[in-house]
Chains A and B, each alone.
Chain A
């Protein structure tokens, strides 16, 4: 008799709980946990490398790709949105006295109304949640309240001493919002997630503890929390924590299930640690704005940049210098909208244009701004904005408007979708990115730490790979320099050794076992400075052997030769043999980048795209194809294009990065004719590597690395047939 027929309802509940929780482990059960080897001879080292037979489609065996790519695209369209300050459709409150306009240099007087009163004068923090309600910490009773902005009704959602799933809630200290969640950090550094119930306006929701294994190391002085959405559809976000004891802003990408922030993904966001013990507020919108010792500074790529708020009119001399302590914005998008900064010296709120730091106006409210503890901005559907703030024991609100309405200063309009950050690295030394064989992940080389990261394109979660040879007698893998990808990952290291490794469950867990590809004879030129580019191409039709599955096209270290290597078998061993080589020095400039269509039957004849000296050329049979132009019309306001990087898609289009105009142009892979601009954005500045991911619906997403970020943008269409 088995125990699955329990008649006790409670025991059935216990059984269901066990089964439900155990089921969460199922994704870890290896899908390739196949039949154990019984009498098959052990594969030799090279043959153990993943191989496909000739003619296998790039997309074969990737059934879920379409859906995954679709998710990526939707996520990219919607990503880049910040949680904090997400706009709810909340009607603006009726002002008791309408705000009056005022000339520049004179503060507009706000006439606030009381939204809610607390029996306390120790309100500590308040945020606006995506459901349109406010959440307020009342430190007197160590409670977080949900508060309706329409009615002023409030309900406690978290109280110190509560027990939840075996954990006791500490005193709430810091609030933040992320996606649809409200995040509450208590004084034990436990992070609690409150997720309001869908379509509920009565304050119901679910409270869970988020797992951050190393939060105990933050110490007791966490100054601020921030979040940045990386997947709007799934509501997943990176978490930023200002930790003075570490002198860092710690950045945590979420786990795949969104319920924890693993230590493995943690990164120091600041390039150089600094004293953060006096940080008063932080705002994250792609940049990070810190409010410290009365000043607001903007940080990009981990370093403070030149952005600074202009002095508001009338505060040119001491003691009227503003001393900012709190920051809120009316638009979560990067470089758009207006900041509202509380100036404690002058008891006023200053409106600052996000894009350039210019001052737009100032707002005073007499005693109602004497003791501001927190503030946020609510933008109504009609575009009107209202400022809410905690002062003493009250939540106050007043409509705000400034001359010219809500200003927006956006980057140059993009042809494609707005670029968004897929993953950020704590470095600006990313050298190359390649689309993974599963077409749902990217591999990125970080030369600061000489690591390869696997980045999930859907969630942005990145994992540093521990790359090691599968054969103990093989030499160690050197510093990664170049990546190629086609059904498996190719790594070219600093010693010019070629390594191939299967990707899958193991590399998701952080380890990648690779096999060395050896050459049957030393290369005919010096490889001392390293190859410049490498492309992997699927096999040739005449060779039906496993070994003939892939060819390798290598741009030589001097950048003046392209050499083709093909695998040859001799007994049980497979090695790379140089079969062709041709000189490409006609352009009198070394090769900056090379692209070969991976499914091309014979690239030597059909063509190899090379970028030399800012120009693209197509080489066929070892010579430049004269009919190809690769030119595009340019307007009078543009500079002559200077191409540095090329990439192709699965549909026969060629994408080229124009460094001079920070633009990616599309050319037909069939005849080289210019099709259109795929993307034009300042976010392309500094692009060092890019690739195009094609979804099953033929929608394409451009991914690139610049600075310390892997960026992505949906680019619609393309053109051309197969090359």
Chain B
């Protein structure tokens, strides 16, 4: 069992951030992982890291949401890589696929999200997701995706232009 965290005065501040942002973080994790259980794990780990980091170094000077989303993205990517690696191991204990029911329960969303790929690249899709889900600035999106601000602006602009050619995707 891990040691209790000494969070001191940060606890209350962290609680407020958690209450305000956990839906945004979870939704983003859900889109990244397409699994409720994985999203719960990734979101949980994200907030745990935030709690540890912020209790030690203080909350980030910028808004916390980009920090959280960036962390969630890194965790999700790490998990995906680990899972891919495990598949190569003989007789591995690779985690079985989960949340089939979830995927099908909300399959309309995934059908729509996948249909966007007929007009958008994955990166464009993610830029729009971050832009419109949480109203992040281009600079914040760039920080999460590892892009420059003009780069994000260019991706978003091209994505919107592409969607103009496919208005049916916005139904």
A525 interfacial contact with B, CB 8 Å: no
Per-residue interface assignment for chain B, residues 11 to 28, with 1 indicating a CB less than 8 Å from any chain A CB and 0 otherwise: 100010010001100110
Contact in complex: B47, A36 (CB < 8 Å): yes
Contact in complex: B102, A28 (CB < 8 Å): yes
| Known contacts A1-B137, A25-B30, A10 near B107 by CB under 8 Å | no
CB-CB contacts below 8 Å: B37-52 with A: 37, 39-40, 43-44, 47-48, 51
A30–B39 Cα distance when bound, in Å, is 10
| Known contacts A2-B137, A33-B26, A39 near B100 by CB under 8 Å | no
Which segment of B68-76, B79-87, B126-134 sits at the interface?
B126-134
Chain A residues near B169 (CB-CB < 8 A): 17, 165-166
Contact in complex: B27, A4 (CB < 8 Å): no
- When C-beta atoms are compared, the residue in chain A nearest to B131 turns out to be A3
Q: Least Cβ distance of B47 to chain A in Å?
A: 6
Contact of B115 (CB < 8 Å), options: A19, A33, A165: A165
Chain A residues near B1 (CB-CB < 8 A): 41-42
Contact in complex: B40, A262 (CB < 8 Å): no
B145 interfacial contact with A, CB 8 Å: no
Chain A residues near B106 (CB-CB < 8 A): 24-25, 27-28
A164 interfacial contact with B, CB 8 Å: yes
| Known contacts A2-B137, A15-B132, A25-B30, A38 near B170 by CB under 8 Å | no
Contact in complex: B132, A211 (CB < 8 Å): no
A259 interfacial contact with B, CB 8 Å: yes
Chain B residues near A259 (CB-CB < 8 A): 107-108
Interface SS of B by simple majority: helix
A508 interfacial contact with B, CB 8 Å: yes
Contact in complex: A18, B136 (CB < 8 Å): no
Contact in complex: A35, B15 (CB < 8 Å): yes
- When C-beta atoms are compared, the residue in chain A nearest to B23 turns out to be A29
Contact in complex: A463, B101 (CB < 8 Å): yes
Chain B residues near A22 (CB-CB < 8 A): 27, 31, 109, 129, 133
CB-CB contacts below 8 Å: A1-22 with B: 1-4, 8, 10-11, 13-15, 17-19, 21-22
Q: Least Cβ distance of B11 to chain A in Å?
A: 7
Q: Least Cβ distance of A502 to chain B in Å?
A: 15
A26 interfacial contact with B, CB 8 Å: yes
A257 interfacial contact with B, CB 8 Å: yes
Contact of A264 (CB < 8 Å), options: B37, B104, B164: B104
**Chain A residues with a Cβ closer than 8 Å to the other chain, count:** 50
Chain B residues near A13 (CB-CB < 8 A): 170
- When C-beta atoms are compared, the residue in chain B nearest to A5 turns out to be B135
Q: Least Cβ distance of B75 to chain A in Å?
A: 15
Contact in complex: B48, A36 (CB < 8 Å): yes
B57 interfacial contact with A, CB 8 Å: no
B121 interfacial contact with A, CB 8 Å: no
Chain B residues near A21 (CB-CB < 8 A): 108-109, 112-113
A24–B109 Cα distance when bound, in Å, is 7
Contact of A260 (CB < 8 Å), options: B23, B104, B137: B104
Contact in complex: B105, A255 (CB < 8 Å): yes
Contact of A28 (CB < 8 Å), options: B30, B115, B156, B163: B30
CB-CB contacts below 8 Å: A248-305 with B: 255-257, 259-260, 262-264
Contact in complex: A255, B107 (CB < 8 Å): yes
A13–B168 Cα distance when bound, in Å, is 12
CB-CB contacts below 8 Å: B114-146 with A: 115, 118, 128-129, 131-133, 135-138
- When C-beta atoms are compared, the residue in chain B nearest to A3 turns out to be B131
Chain B residues near A19 (CB-CB < 8 A): 132-133
A510 interfacial contact with B, CB 8 Å: yes
Contact of B132 (CB < 8 Å), options: A1, A14, A29, A30: A14
Q: Least Cβ distance of A433 to chain B in Å?
A: 21
Contact in complex: A38, B11 (CB < 8 Å): yes
| Known contacts A163-B168, A260-B107, A28 near B36 by CB under 8 Å | yes
A497–B126 Cα distance when bound, in Å, is 49
| Known contacts A28-B36, A33-B40, A263-B100, A165 near B168 by CB under 8 Å | yes
Q: Least Cβ distance of B4 to chain A in Å?
A: 4
B5 interfacial contact with A, CB 8 Å: yes
Chain A residues near B32 (CB-CB < 8 A): none
A509–B39 Cα distance when bound, in Å, is 13
A213 interfacial contact with B, CB 8 Å: yes
Q: Least Cβ distance of B32 to chain A in Å?
A: 12
- When C-beta atoms are compared, the residue in chain A nearest to B108 turns out to be A259
Q: Least Cβ distance of B5 to chain A in Å?
A: 6
- When C-beta atoms are compared, the residue in chain A nearest to B125 turns out to be A18
Contact in complex: B132, A18 (CB < 8 Å): yes
- When C-beta atoms are compared, the residue in chain B nearest to A18 turns out to be B132
Contact in complex: B107, A33 (CB < 8 Å): no
B99 interfacial contact with A, CB 8 Å: yes
| Known contacts A14-B132, A14-B160, A165-B115, A38 near B101 by CB under 8 Å | no
Q: Least Cβ distance of B13 to chain A in Å?
A: 13
Chain A residues near B129 (CB-CB < 8 A): 18, 22
Q: Least Cβ distance of B93 to chain A in Å?
A: 13
Q: Least Cβ distance of A598 to chain B in Å?
A: 30
Chain A residues near B131 (CB-CB < 8 A): 3, 15
| Known contacts A4-B135, A18-B128, A262 near B105 by CB under 8 Å | yes
Listed in ascending order, the chain B residues whose CB lies under 8 Å from chain A are 1, 4-5, 7, 11, 15, 18, 22-23, 26-27, 30-31, 36-37, 39-40, 43-44, 47-48, 51, 99-102, 104-109, 111-113, 115, 118, 128-129, 131-133, 135-138, 156, 160, 163-164, 168-171
A35-B15, A213-B107, A256-B105 known; 20 new pairs, CB 8 Å cut-off, are A1-B137, A10-B163, A19-B132, A22-B31, A24-B109, A25-B27, A29-B27, A33-B43, A39-B4, A163-B168, A255-B105, A257-B105, A257-B108, A260-B107, A260-B108, A262-B104, A262-B107, A263-B104, A509-B101, A509-B102
Listed in ascending order, the chain A residues whose CB lies under 8 Å from chain B are 1-4, 8, 10-11, 13-15, 17-19, 21-22, 24-30, 33, 35-36, 38-39, 41-42, 163-167, 209, 211, 213, 255-257, 259-260, 262-264, 463, 505, 508-510
The 20 listed contacts between A and B (C-beta, < 8 Å) are: A2-B136, A3-B137, A10-B160, A14-B160, A15-B132, A22-B129, A25-B31, A25-B106, A30-B40, A33-B22, A35-B15, A38-B4, A163-B168, A211-B104, A211-B108, A256-B105, A259-B108, A260-B107, A264-B100, A264-B101
